[in-house]
Amino acid sequence: MNLETVIYGKLTVINLIYAIAVLIIGLLLTHLITAYLKRNLKTKLNKDKLDLVIKGVYYLLITVIITWVLSALGIKLSGLLVAGGFLGIIIGFASQSIVGNLVSGFFLTIERPMKIGNSVNIAGEIGIVEDINIISTKLRTWDGLDIRIPNEKVFTSSITNYVSNIARRFEYVLGIRYEDDAAKAIQIINELLDKEPFVLKNPAPLIFVSKLDESSVNISVKIWAPISEWYGLSMRLLWEIKVLLEENDIKIAFPQRVNHTKN
């Protein structure tokens, strides 16, 4: 077979082989370069910065390869731009949401309201951020489910980042009976919290009577804890407080109504 044989327009067999070789070698090199960067930057950058660098390098190399391959195939980029202008209008209408997601992904990368590994609530979906790419954000819920949220939705929704600060506060409201001594209850709770290592000394816990309710005297307990410990602590402490109060003859009040009857 003659390598100079024209296949289509000015495209010869040798040009086609060259283009295929550029494509294969280019993709191989892209893979090797990104793998090399990943291995060498792993200890120097945190995961989301590393992902950003790797993706940036990947898409840059892919763009260079595509340009090179098109040039090897004899397709002029200036012609593509003219055709692209017209096609762009058509594709633009057809891919509004994709472009929206891309732009949102870009702005999310700049604004950085969350990092990979953070526990977040995005538009009512709660989970750990697994990946933030240019089109979508992936969450893993506490139930082990994966959720993919388009970046446009992420960008326009309110985002609650549960772990952006190093400490957070949680609260209990305990309703004790009217005949119980609220001051004693506060003292007992205070002593318990003082013994608990992860209840932060500063900011100090707040314990106070917050409401005189229909059937109970409500005591609010507001506790600061390290972000890594608050959830376990919040699950454990409420029961410990309840048990300790009852050991001191202070009972949690049940709903009750006093009826007075005449005659």
Partner 1 sequence: MYGVNKIPLDLQRESLSLSVNKNADRMEYFRECLGSKTQKLILSKQDEILICPVEPLNLPRQVATFLMVEFLREMMMQPDSKSVIYLTFPLEIGVFVGKKDKYEILDIFSLARAKYSLYGEPRNGVICKYWQSPVFLEEPQTNPLIEGIIQLNLINSSKNWVQVNKVLFNGNGMKIYYNNKNTSMKATMKILEEEAAEVEFNNSPLHRDMKKSPELFSTRRLSASARKAVMLEGI
Stretch touching partner 1 by CB under 8 A, among 47-55, 99-107, 161-169, 174-182: 161-169
CB of 212 to partner 1, least distance (A): 32
Please say whether the beta carbons of 178 and 213 come within 8 A. no
User: What is the per-residue binding string for partner 1 in 53-82, x denoting contact by CB under 8 A?
Assistant: ------------------------------
Q: Which of 93, 251, 85, 121 is nearest to 177 (CA)?
A: 251
Question: Which residue's CB is nearer to partner 1, number 68 or number 162?
Answer: 162
Q: Which of 131, 226, 231, 248 binds partner 1 (CB under 8 A)?
A: 226
CB of 90 to partner 1, least distance (A): 48
The angle, 0 to 180 degrees and rounded to 10, between the axes of the packed helices 47-72 and 13-41 is 170
162-201 positions binding partner 1, by CB under 8 A:
164-168, 195, 197-198, 200-201
Q: Which of 56, 88, 92, 203 binds partner 1 (CB under 8 A)?
A: 203
Q: Which of left, alpha, beta for 117 (phi over 0: left; psi -120 to 50: alpha)?
A: left
Stretch touching partner 1 by CB under 8 A, among 50-58, 87-95, 212-220, 224-232: 224-232
Which residues, listed in sequence order, are joined to residue 120 by a DSSP beta bridge?
127, 161
Q: Which of 229, 238, 251, 252 binds partner 1 (CB under 8 A)?
A: 229
116-155 positions binding partner 1, by CB under 8 A:
none
113 upstream amide cis, omega within 30 of 0:
no
Q: Where are the alpha helices (DSSP H) in the chain?
A: 13-41, 47-72, 77-94, 96-111, 151-156, 182-195, 230-247
DSSP 51-66: HHHHHHHHHHHHHHHH
Q: Which residues bind partner 1 (CB under 8 A)?
A: 164-168, 195, 197-198, 200-203, 224, 226, 228-229
